[in-house]
Chains A and B, each alone.
Chain A
């Protein structure tokens, strides 16, 4: 095992890996390459785009794709539909229709709003049935799922971090947005927010966190929400849901026993779980 920290680009972010042997690192890189090929919105040949182009009501998915759709549906059920895998049309309508690095200010108005419709999906094994016009976007769950899966490829202690989504086994000091650190011994931590993926469309700032209730970029009190959970996937979907719930986010996390830290401007706010576990911040 190597305690050395090594990094490579994938999924539009930097992936950092610690604790992997050389062979394990190769496996981790292959995993991210494969997942990017399958789930990219910006590769015409990706399975995601093939499924979205397919006019058939029922499509046969690869095992990996079915696994991610299943995870997306579990995330939707667990969050009351706040994390929804059917928001592909909505995020494109907001202007995020190419690689983020290529987005420019665009004065054209937004496209039509498209609300979430996860409840109309039916997944049975590798068969997916969905209504005509459904545009899947699994990127709300894929990165954190990949991080968890990558950590499983490392036999000893270590961590995998991808663009702020982190999974740890055996302990690591994690830097928090804005300021501060914590020690994550096991589990995952993730941050969701609007401070980075922002662009101008139709005369106002847009972002990638779509509220499935409106089909538009969410309006939230928070700039960023950080959550720790038993897995990176769990932390990620909880952070997204807490962000979308705005004022109700801290209590929602407490009901699920999850510590969360919220940032708005320079102000840091914590829920009860965070304060009890990690020390007092301003209580939400």
Chain B
């Protein structure tokens, strides 16, 4: 095998690797795009079961559920907690 033939083989091998890598990258991007869409929330499990269940109950997109607070008037002049701008 001449040096030119060896160089051609190496070049051909590198080209095949590059094509395969590009195809794999394209496929991965395609799968990622198909698996998600703008504004879609993660379905990843939370590290805390409690927060996960709460987030699922106030879930996704345009059907987001704000829930409703249970509130009542108070005549107390002293508060236990304060809401305000932080």
Which residues on A are within 8 Å of B, measured CB to CB? 5, 12-13, 16, 18, 31, 58, 63-64, 66-67, 69-71, 73-78, 118-127, 129, 143, 145, 148-149, 152-153, 159, 161-166, 168, 172-177, 181-197, 224, 226, 228-231, 233-235, 238, 256-259, 277-279
Known: A162-B86, A175-B79, A187-B68. A122 touches B61 (CB 8 A): no
Known: A18-B81, A74-B41, A183-B71. A67 touches B66 (CB 8 A): no
Q: Mark B34-60, 1 if CB is under 8 A from A, else 0.
A: 011111111111111011101100111
Contact A224 B84 (CB under 8 A): yes
Contact B71 A277 (CB under 8 A): yes
Question: Which chain A positions have C-beta within 8 A of B39?
Answer: 73-74, 76-77, 118-119
| A159 and B83 alpha carbons, distance in the complex (Å) | 12
Q: A196-B86, A234-B58 are in contact. List 5 more A-B contacts (CB 8 A).
A: A74-B39, A74-B41, A124-B36, A174-B74, A224-B84
| A134 and B24 alpha carbons, distance in the complex (Å) | 25
Contact B86 A13 (CB under 8 A): yes
Contact B83 A165 (CB under 8 A): yes
Contact A182 B84 (CB under 8 A): no
Known: A124-B36, A125-B44, A189-B69. A67 touches B80 (CB 8 A): no
Contact B86 A159 (CB under 8 A): no
| A158 and B83 alpha carbons, distance in the complex (Å) | 16
Known: A74-B41, A74-B60, A279-B73. A145 touches B85 (CB 8 A): no
Q: Count residues of B near A (Cβ-Cβ below 8 Å).
A: 50
Contact B69 A187 (CB under 8 A): yes
Question: Which chain A positions have C-beta within 8 A of B69?
Answer: 184-189, 228-230, 235, 259
Contact B80 A122 (CB under 8 A): no
Question: Which chain A positions have C-beta within 8 A of B58?
Answer: 74, 230-231, 233-234
Contact A229 B41 (CB under 8 A): no
Contact B48 A149 (CB under 8 A): yes
| A187 and B81 alpha carbons, distance in the complex (Å) | 14
Q: Mark B1-43, 1 if CB is under 8 A from A, else 0.
A: 0000000000000000000000000000100110111111111
Instruction: Give 28 CB contacts A-B under 8 Å.
Output: A12-B86, A64-B47, A67-B51, A67-B52, A74-B60, A77-B61, A118-B38, A122-B33, A124-B40, A126-B44, A129-B33, A152-B51, A152-B54, A173-B78, A173-B80, A183-B76, A186-B69, A189-B71, A189-B83, A190-B83, A191-B84, A194-B85, A229-B67, A229-B68, A231-B54, A231-B66, A234-B58, A235-B66
Min CB gap A180→B, angstroms: 8
Min CB gap B39→A, angstroms: 4
Contact B42 A258 (CB under 8 A): no
Residue of A nearest to B34 (CB): A124
Contact A124 B32 (CB under 8 A): yes
A185 interface neighbour in B33, B64, B72, Cβ under 8 Å = B72
Contact B48 A70 (CB under 8 A): no
Contact B79 A143 (CB under 8 A): no
Contact B84 A181 (CB under 8 A): no
Min CB gap B50→A, angstroms: 3
